[in-house]
């Protein structure tokens, strides 16, 4: 049985008065859509910089949240090998994807693991939430830790998964140095896990 656990996604820096310095905040005077689709939106914000300059700043918004999962079993992690056409690169990545409307993020992470790897997680726990493109996008990316994995069949999402493999956690720095892991969210998630659990 999947044990899905989500935690608060409040931002302690935003909520703390000591970080609310008005002298360095950008002021938004208006916003208008430049492009909208069910998957992505681009907005043009009329903003005033701290030095008084006014500029149009492009902001990328994603209607749906994103999740990823570090799936571990002892000293190894479950990764998928896939191609990214935009950068025309191959690499290892963690299972990841969109959160469906009304879906709990932890449940979404477990679903992505099943679809992309053919494994089912016994437990999915929140690790951290961050903004991968804070200078240009509102995207929030939540990373979960998945354990108790059981193989239930072949991946159903063949459009994304070419190969599934358990790789040693100790090999991750070498794989990153060899550019076999170049995906930003995967690097952030795996580095966080190694820092917290292998220090």
Cα 31 from Cα 34, distance rounded (Å): 10
pTM: 0.84
The pLDDT of residue 100 is 96
Dihedral of alpha carbons 173, 174, 175, 178, sign = positive
Please state which CATH class domain 64-197 belongs to: alpha beta
If you write DSSP's letter for every residue of the chain in order, what string do you get? --EEE------HHHHSGGG--GGGPPEEEEEEEEEE-SS-EEEEEEEE-TTS-EEEEEEEE-SS-EEEEEEEETTEEEEEEEEETTTTEEEEE--EEEPPTT--HHHHHHHHHHHHHSEE-SEEEEEEEE-TTTTTB---EEEEEEES-EE-SS-S-TTT-SEEEEEEGGGHHHHHHTTS---HHHHHHHHHHHHHH--
Span 58-76, pLDDT tens digits? 999 999 999 999 999 999 9
The answer to whether the CB of 149 falls within 8 A of the CB of 70 is: no
Cα 18 from Cα 70, distance rounded (Å): 33
The pLDDT of residue 197 is 78
In whole angstroms, how far apart are CA 32 and each of 35, 63, 119, 133, 151?
Answer: 9, 16, 43, 20, 47
Span 116-160, pLDDT tens digits? 999 999 999 999 999 999 999 999 999 999 999 999 999 997 777
What confidence tier does 2 reach under pLDDT thresholds 50, 70, 90? very low
Residues of the chain with CATH 3.90.79.10: 64-197
Q: Look-up: residue for tokens 């700043």?
A: 57
Structure tokens at 41: 């939106």
The pLDDT of residue 3 is 47
Structure tokens at 116: 């992309």
């Amino acid at each position: 049985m999947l044990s899905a656990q989500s935690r608060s996604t409040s931002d302690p820096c935003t909520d703390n008065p000591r970080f609310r310095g008005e002298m360095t905040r950008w002021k938004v005077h208006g916003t208008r859509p430049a492009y909208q689709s069910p998957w992505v939106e681009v907005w043009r914000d009329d903003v005033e910089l701290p030095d008084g300059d006014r500029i149009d700043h492009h902001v990328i918004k994603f209607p749906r949240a994103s999740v990823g999962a570090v799936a571990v079993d002892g000293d190894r992690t479950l990764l998928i090998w896939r191609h990214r056409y935009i950068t025309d690169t191959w690499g290892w990545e963690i299972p990841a994807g969109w959160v469906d409307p009304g879906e709990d993020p932890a449940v979404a992470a477990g679903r992505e693991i099943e679809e992309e790897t053919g494994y089912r997680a016994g437990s999915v726990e929140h690790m951290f939430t961050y903004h991968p493109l804070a200078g240009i996008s509102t995207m929030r990316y939540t990373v979960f830790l998945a354990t108790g994995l059981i193989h239930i069949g072949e991946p159903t999402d063949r459009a994304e998964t070419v190969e599934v493999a358990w790789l040693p956690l100790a090999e991750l720095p070498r794989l990153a140095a060899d550019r076999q892991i170049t995906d930003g969210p995967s690097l952030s998630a795996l580095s966080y896990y190694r820092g917290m659990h292998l220090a």
